Amino acid sequence: MYSPSAPKLSEPWPERAVLCFFREQIAALVERGAARRVGQFTVEMGGHGIYITEDSAGERVALFHPTVGAPSAVHHLERAIAGGVRSLVVCGGTGALVELAVGHVVVPSGAIRDEGTSFHYAPPGASIDADPDVVDALAGLLAEQSVPHAVGLTWTTDAPFRETPAMVATRRDQGCLLVEMEASALLAAARFRGAKLGLLLYAGDDLSGKKWDLRNWTASDARAKLLPLAIEATGRF
C-alpha cells in the first residue's frame, strides 16, 4: 500500500489547517506579517506555498491553497494529514443553485458525489454526510459572529461546464444549495484518514436562473471575511 508523505517544513506541522481557495487573501496575510511561508508542495502539483498563521489565541494553523478539482485537492489534503494535521476547514467560493446573495455563507451538511475521487475513499453511494458535530461547530461560530448563513447540501462535480439547466434542477430538487468541485472528495478522504473536516463556502456565481450569472463573484468582500473565520473554526472541533 502506498502512503503519502508530508512536505518538509521549516517548523513542525500544526494539528490544524485551513485549505483556502483565495490566493489573494493568503497573500494579504503574508504582506501584513500575519502568515509566514514555511514550505511548499511539489512543483509537479503546482508548487503552492505552505504558510503558518495564528488564530486569536495565538495557536498555530497551517494555511495553503489546495488547487481546484477533487483529485488535486485531495492530494494536498493527504499530504497535510500525513504531516499530523487532524482538524481542517475548507473555505472557498461556489455556484449558487438557489437564490442566495453574493457572499452568503453556507456550511455544507453533506455533498452529492458527482466526482470520482471520493469512491476511492468511501463505499459507493450518492452522497456523503459531513460530521454533524463539525457542522454544528461551524454554524455556531457564524451565529456568534452574527454572520448570516445557511446549512445544506452541496453538489460536487468534476465538470463545471456540464452544469446543465436540467442537472441544476435535479440537484436543486435533491436539496442542494451550491455546486463546487471538491467537497465530497475532501470529506471522504478526511474521514478515511481519521481527520475532521468542515467547509465554510460562500455563494458566488448564480446558476439558479435561466442564464449563468458570474456576478463578479471573485471580487466579493466575503473572501476577506471568510478566511479569518476559517482560521478560528479549526479550533472549534
* Per-residue exposure over 180-199, b if at least 16 CB sit within 10 Å of its own CB, e if not: bbbbbbbbbbbbebebbbbb
Compute the distance between CA of residue 216 and CA of residue 21 in angstroms, rounded to an integer: 16
Q: What is the pLDDT of residues 50-85, one digit of tens each?
A: 999 999 999 999 999 999 999 999 999 999 999 999
Q: What is the pLDDT of residues 129-178, one digit of tens each?
A: 999 999 999 999 999 999 999 999 999 999 999 999 999 999 999 999 99
Please compute the mean of the pLDDT values over residues 6-24 and round it to a whole number: 98
Supply the pLDDT for residue 50.
Answer: 98
Residue 217 lies in a domain: yes
Residue 4 lies in a domain: no
CA 16, 19, 25, 31: dihedral to nearest 10 degrees?
Answer: 50
Residue 178 lies in a domain: yes
Which pLDDT band holds residue 183 (cuts at 50, 70, 90)? very high
Supply the pLDDT for residue 45.
Answer: 87
Please compute the mean of the pLDDT values over residues 216-236 and round it to a whole number: 97
Compute the distance between CA of residue 27 and CA of residue 33 in angstroms, rounded to an integer: 10
CATH number at residue 22: 3.40.50.1580
Residue 11 lies in a domain: no
Supply the pLDDT for residue 47.
Answer: 92
Q: Which residue range(s) make up the domain with 133? A: 16-233
Residues 6+ apart with CB under 8 A from 237: 87, 131, 133, 134, 137, 196, 198
* Residue 92 cell numbers, joined: 472557498
* pLDDT, the chain, mean: 97
Residue 49 lies in a domain: yes
In eight-state DSSP terms, residue 218 is G
Residue 171 lies in a domain: yes
Q: Domain total for the chain?
A: 1
Residue 3 lies in a domain: no
Q: What is the pLDDT of residues 120-130, one digit of tens each?
A: 999 999 999 99
- Please say if the pLDDT value at position 1 is more than 90: no
Q: What is the pLDDT of residues 90-110, one digit of tens each?
A: 999 999 999 999 999 999 999
Supply the pLDDT for residue 74.
Answer: 98
Cβ neighbours around 137 below 10 Å, total: 21
pTM across the whole model: 0.97
Please compute the mean of the pLDDT values over residues 30-51 and round it to a whole number: 96
